[in-house]
Amino acid sequence: MYSSCLQTLCLGHALWHPEPHESGEPQVGDVGCVHEGAFIRLFNLDTSASEKKVTFWDPPFDITEPLPRGMLKIDRRQRPLVPGHYCSHGVESTQMQSSADV
């Protein structure tokens, strides 16, 4: 319920295990899946970069057709995630302070 409510904010997908899977640390151009809260790399679309190649699978996934040049571009939209509270629709964040003298 929690992750499905936050997903509607279009701020990404909740990962319960955000540390890299055995298949490697996520790279730009990765194709993979989310399984049991972890992102699992299958292969990378950038076949020209050997450091992005996924070597975890035996046999490895084989890309038979390279993408056209310039296909992998960074999304330049301004939507940085800043520190703070991210609440799903209908949920509010409040703060309380208290002090006591003895």
Q: Where are the domains of the chain?
A: 2-52
- Model-level pTM? 0.56
Ramachandran quadrant class, 24 (left: phi over 0; alpha: psi -120 to 50; beta: rest) = left
Place of tokens 């936050």: 6
What are 46-63's pLDDT values in tens digits? 888 888 888 898 888 877
Q: What is the CA radius of gyration of the chain?
A: 20
What are 56-97's pLDDT values in tens digits? 988 888 777 776 777 666 667 776 666 777 777 777 878 888
